[in-house]
């Protein structure tokens, strides 16, 4: 299947209707998921959709039209309609629209995939989930759940500047959960992450997770949590596991460095950012240990691609270097407003969605330690692992996170399990207190990043490792 032609028709129609720039994406996506509960498969879901989204710039106003009809007639209508919508936008006109320059590119790209996840027999996939959840249920979990998800996406991008790019991105992953229900509360343990682990890889990713091998452990831990002592309240030394740190990066760095938020384009809904472009290159974001890279080229990570949805190639660049803020996630138009020379971070979650600034892989460079060394070096603190709740203010400063499990750390050793751990803080203060960082980097996938109106669900990746922070407020309770 190739749908360059419909995209080309849409672009030409938009130009004929008065657009000075137009681009169009035809996308075809197959999705499959299976959900198991206490050893039983609940439902097998398969979705397939295809459509065309066309973006037109008339004067300094944008229009976007998307339709699930892939015929020449529909494509022509889509291009024309996008231009007409752009003309309506001019009723409330704004700033001049410019783009950072881009070379016309003709290319193909495909993500790595050793085992096609849609070709693995359904019965094998069902056995995996039913087996793992049956084990966890038998081990004492009141609710044992498991899921896998597969996305197989083909897209064809054409622009009036001469781009002609096709991509084939295969993503998959999964996880299991054990919930213990007590008289007044519930406790849950997850493996390998609170939403599972995902990447731009084939079924080999799920095989490597070995879900069944962890089912009994998470069931045991969920029950043990019901009677574990509460996380104490106060300020302490906090060690975060890599999965929780991945979410911390996502929420308090990734979203904060999105240029559309910094420019106020998401002010009403997602919010803005505490960052101001005058601080780019000089503002201290964290301790000298903090090095954050925007890198859509990480093999197998969930935020990887060959080209973004404006046709910009995947390029790695620094976001934070030695603790100083040095880069943003940008699109070609937002970068032009800010006077920056790059885009490359614009994506849409489907043909029907307008591309917007999106995280790719935003993650840490490794530190010099191991988690064991960090624990050994800690006289009195708490280790928290696996996200349970997340909330952060509209400028991405004040956060409160809860994790599924915590452990006391006393005189360099792990102590008692702790229930309902939470911690809270302010982004740059928190990152400034990071004094130890592990080298054990894992690229955690986030398959559920919500942003935009209408809401889009983005896929992002976050290379992260355990780290230690000083003087953090923990144990916030209602």
Partner 1 sequence: MIEQVTRALPGAEAEVFTQHVARGLTRFANSAIHQNITTETTTVRLRVHRDGRTVALTGQDRETLIARARAALDAAPADRAWPGLTPPSALAGSGNLDEETAAATPADRAARVRDFVRAAGGLETAGYVATTVHRATYANTLGQVVSGGTTEAALDGIARTGTSDGVSRLASVRLADLDGARLGARAAVKARASAHPEVLPPGRYEVVLEPTAVADVLNCLAIFGFNGRMVAEGMSFARLGADQLDPAITLRDDPVGPGGIGLPFDAEGTPRDTLTLVDRGTVRAVLHDRQTAALTGAVSTGHYSDAGFGVLGSCLHLLGSGAGPADEVDGPEADSHVTALVRDVERGLLVTDNWYTRVLDPKTLVMTGLTRNGLWLIENGQVTRPVQNLRFTQSYPLALAPGAVLGVGTSAAGQPATRLDLGFRAPALRLASWNYTGNAAG
Q: Give whichever of 135 and 361 is closer to partner 1, judged by the CB atom.
A: 135
Q: Is 85 an interacting residue with respect to partner 1 (CB under 8 A)?
A: yes
Q: Is 403 an interacting residue with respect to partner 1 (CB under 8 A)?
A: no
Least separation in angstroms between residue 392's CB and partner 1 is: 6
Residue ranges in 183-222 that form contacts with partner 1 under rule CB under 8 A: 184-186
Select from 136, 98, 74 the least CA-distant residue to 20: 98
Query: Taking CB under 8 A as the rule, which mask of x and - marks residues 139-158 in contact with partner 1?
Result: ---xx---------------
Q: Sign of the CA dihedral 447, 451, 457, 458?
A: negative
Q: Is 407 an interacting residue with respect to partner 1 (CB under 8 A)?
A: no
Which residue among 352, 360, 378, 446 contacts partner 1 (CB under 8 A)? 352
Which residue among 83, 397, 434, 472 contacts partner 1 (CB under 8 A)? 397
Helix, strand, coil share of the chain (percent; to 5): 25, 40, 35
CA distances from 24 to 1, 41, 83 (A): 17, 39, 12
Least separation in angstroms between residue 104's CB and partner 1 is: 25
Choose one: 18-26, 80-88, 208-216, 375-383; the region binding partner 1 (CB under 8 A): 80-88
In 371-441, the DSSP E strands lie at 380-392, 398-410, 413-418, 422-426, 434-437
Q: Give whichever of 127 and 373 is closer to partner 1, judged by the CB atom.
A: 127
Instruction: At 390, list the tokens.
Output: 């997340």
Which residue among 24, 51, 305, 323 contacts partner 1 (CB under 8 A)? 51
Q: Is 5 an interacting residue with respect to partner 1 (CB under 8 A)?
A: no
Residue ranges in 112-131 that form contacts with partner 1 under rule CB under 8 A: 121-123, 126-127, 130
Select from 143, 298, 113, 278 the least CA-distant residue to 206: 113
Q: Give whichever of 269 and 380 is closer to partner 1, judged by the CB atom.
A: 269
Instruction: At 96, list the tokens.
Output: 């001049």
Q: In whole angstroms, give the CA distance from residue 81 to residue 65.
A: 6
Q: Is 16 an interacting residue with respect to partner 1 (CB under 8 A)?
A: no
Q: Is 86 an interacting residue with respect to partner 1 (CB under 8 A)?
A: yes
Residue ranges in 225-254 that form contacts with partner 1 under rule CB under 8 A: none
- Torsion angle of the four alpha carbons 204, 209, 211, 212, in this order, in degrees rounded to the nearest 10: 80
Choose one: 60-68, 291-299, 306-314, 361-369; the region binding partner 1 (CB under 8 A): 60-68
Q: In whole angstroms, give the CA distance from residue 457 to residue 356.
A: 11
Crossing angle of helices 4-16 and 72-89, rounded to 10°:
40
Q: Is 470 an interacting residue with respect to partner 1 (CB under 8 A)?
A: no
Q: Is 411 an interacting residue with respect to partner 1 (CB under 8 A)?
A: no
Helices (H), 303-343: 332-338
Least separation in angstroms between residue 84's CB and partner 1 is: 7
SS3 16: helix
Q: Is 346 an interacting residue with respect to partner 1 (CB under 8 A)?
A: no
Q: Is 93 an interacting residue with respect to partner 1 (CB under 8 A)?
A: yes
| Strand duo 442-451 + 456-464: pairing | antiparallel
Q: Give whichever of 138 and 476 is closer to partner 1, judged by the CB atom.
A: 476
Q: In whole angstroms, give the CA distance from residue 450 to residue 174.
A: 19
Residue listed under structure tokens 């960082």? 437
Which residue among 81, 133, 153, 252 contacts partner 1 (CB under 8 A)? 81
Q: Is 430 an interacting residue with respect to partner 1 (CB under 8 A)?
A: no
In 105-260, the DSSP E strands lie at 106-110, 143-159, 164-181, 186-191, 197-199, 234-240
Neighbours of 124 (CB within 10 A): 9
Q: Is 172 an interacting residue with respect to partner 1 (CB under 8 A)?
A: no
Least separation in angstroms between residue 241's CB and partner 1 is: 19
Alpha-carbon Rg of the chain, whole angstroms?
23
Q: In whole angstroms, give the CA distance from residue 200 to residue 464.
A: 17
Least separation in angstroms between residue 290's CB and partner 1 is: 20
Q: Is 429 an interacting residue with respect to partner 1 (CB under 8 A)?
A: yes
Choose one: 35-43, 151-159, 281-289, 367-375; the region binding partner 1 (CB under 8 A): 35-43
DSSP designation for 438: B
Which residue among 179, 193, 222, 386 contacts partner 1 (CB under 8 A)? 179
Q: Is 453 an interacting residue with respect to partner 1 (CB under 8 A)?
A: yes
Q: Is 336 an interacting residue with respect to partner 1 (CB under 8 A)?
A: no
In 59-104, the DSSP E strands lie at 61-67
């Amino acid at each position: 299947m190739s749908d360059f032609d419909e995209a080309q028709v849409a672009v030409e129609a938009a130009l004929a209707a008065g657009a000075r720039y137009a681009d169009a994406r035809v996308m075809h996506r197959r999705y499959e998921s299976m959900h198991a509960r206490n050893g039983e498969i609940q439902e097998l879901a398969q979705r397939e959709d295809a459509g065309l989204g066309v973006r037109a710039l008339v004067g300094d106003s944008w229009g976007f039209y998307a339709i699930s009809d892939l015929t020449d007639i529909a494509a022509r209508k889509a291009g024309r309609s996008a231009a007409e919508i752009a003309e309506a936008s001019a009723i409330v006109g704004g700033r001049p629209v410019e783009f950072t320059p881009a070379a016309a590119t003709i290319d193909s790209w495909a993500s790595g995939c050793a085992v096609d996840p849609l070709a693995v027999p359904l019965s094998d996939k069902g056995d995996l989930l039913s087996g793992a959840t049956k084990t966890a249920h038998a081990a004492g979990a009141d609710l044992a759940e498991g899921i896998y998800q597969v996305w197989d996406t083909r897209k064809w991008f054409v622009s009036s500047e001469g781009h002609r790019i096709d991509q084939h991105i295969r993503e998959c992953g999964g996880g299991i959960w054990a919930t213990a229900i007590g008289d007044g509360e519930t406790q849950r343990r997850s493996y390998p992450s609170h939403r599972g682990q995902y990447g731009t890889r084939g079924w080999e990713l799920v095989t490597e997770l070995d879900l069944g091998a962890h089912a009994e452990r998470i069931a045991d831990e969920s029950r043990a949590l019901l009677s574990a002592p509460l996380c104490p309240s106060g300020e302490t030394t906090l060690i975060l596991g890599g999965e929780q740190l991945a979410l911390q990066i996502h929420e308090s760095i990734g979203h904060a460095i999105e240029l559309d938020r910094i420019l106020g384009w998401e002010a009403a809904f997602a919010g803005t950012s505490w960052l101001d472009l005058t601080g780019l290159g000089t503002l201290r974001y964290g301790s000298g240990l903090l090095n954050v890279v925007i890198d859509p080229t990480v093999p197998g990570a969930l935020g990887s691609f060959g080209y973004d949805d404006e046709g910009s190639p995947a390029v790695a660049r620094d976001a934070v270097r030695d603790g100083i803020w040095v880069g943003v996630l940008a699109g070609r138009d937002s970068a032009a407003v800010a006077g920056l020379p790059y885009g490359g971070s614009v994506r849409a979650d489907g043909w029907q969605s307008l591309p917007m600034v999106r995280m790719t892989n935003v993650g840490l460079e490794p530190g010099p330690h191991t988690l064991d060394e960090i624990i050994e070096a800690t006289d009195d603190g708490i280790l928290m692992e696996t996200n349970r709740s997340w909330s952060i203010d509209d400028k991405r400063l004040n956060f409160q996170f809860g994790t599924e499990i915590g452990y006391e750390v006393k005189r360099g050793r792990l102590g008692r399990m702790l229930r309902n751990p939470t911690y809270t803080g302010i982004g740059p203060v928190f990152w400034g207190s990071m004094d130890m960082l592990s080298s054990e980097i894992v690229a955690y996938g986030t398959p559920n990043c919500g942003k935009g109106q209408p809401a889009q669900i983005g896929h992002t990746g976050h290379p992260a490792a355990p780290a230690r922070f000083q003087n953090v407020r923990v144990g916030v309770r209602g």
